[in-house]
């Protein structure tokens, strides 16, 4: 399992205490079981469900499990793009783009008004650049429509 697979877990102090007392292989098995549990996958047979570490950690995992289920349902219902666009990270990205460009349309120079944070490299084409401030540019609503209508590529 890749290390970023564990990004969902909130390591609480009790978890760290538990993990410190385990051997590397026991800790790896426990992490594998934690990942499976919060993602609603079958638990591996390797973990003793009666083991002290599992008993201590399982209640805290339930919160993460519910959060992940809710996130997956949102993606199924609205699609990944809408979920990303409604996220706090996306709102922060837009604000950073606007601040960098001093709330001014970078095509016509209009300051303020109804602004859009436009992706230079299309949102759907490059997921890894969706929240990259350098991939954003501030456009007024009219210029944004113009850019999309004529499929202009902005540098």
How many other CB atoms are there within 10 angstroms of residue 24's CB atom? Answer: 7
- Of 119, 108, 112, 115, the closest CA to residue 148 belongs to 119
Q: What digits encode the pLDDT tens for the residues 11-35?
A: 455 566 666 777 777 777 777 777 7
- Look at residues 14, 25, 8 and name the one whose alpha carbon lies nearest to residue 62: 8
Burial zone of 133 (CB within 10 Å; 0-12 exposed, 13-18 middle, 19+ buried) = middle
DSSP state of 110: -
Instruction: Please state the length of the chain.
Output: 155
Q: For the stretch 109-129, what's the b/e string if a residue is b when 16 or more beta carbons lie within 10 angstroms of its beta carbon?
A: ebeeeebbbbbebeeeeeeee
Q: Which residues pair with 136 in a beta bridge?
A: 119
Q: Using one digit for the tens of pLDDT, what is the confidence trace for 36-95?
A: 777 777 776 655 555 656 666 677 777 777 877 877 777 777 778 888 888 889 999 999
The pLDDT tens digits of the residues spanning 101-151 come to: 999 999 999 999 999 999 999 888 888 999 999 999 999 999 999 998 888
pLDDT at 2: 44
């Amino acid at each position: 399992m890749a290390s970023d697979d564990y990004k969902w877990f909130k390591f609480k102090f009790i978890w760290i205490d538990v993990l410190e007392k385990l051997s590397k292989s026991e800790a790896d098995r426990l992490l594998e079981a934690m990942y499976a549990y919060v993602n609603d996958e079958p638990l591996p047979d390797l973990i003793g469900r009666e083991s002290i570490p599992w008993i201590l950690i399982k209640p805290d995992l339930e919160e993460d499990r519910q959060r992940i289920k809710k996130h997956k349902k949102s993606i199924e219902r609205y699609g990944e793009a809408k979920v990303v666009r409604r996220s706090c990270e996306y709102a922060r990205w837009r604000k950073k783009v606007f601040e960098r460009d001093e709330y001014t349309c970078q095509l016509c120079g209009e300051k303020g008004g109804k602004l859009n944070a436009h992706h230079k490299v299309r949102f759907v084409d490059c997921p890894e650049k969706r929240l990259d401030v350098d991939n954003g540019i501030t456009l007024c609503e009219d210029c944004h429509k113009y850019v999309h209508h004529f499929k202009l590529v902005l540098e």
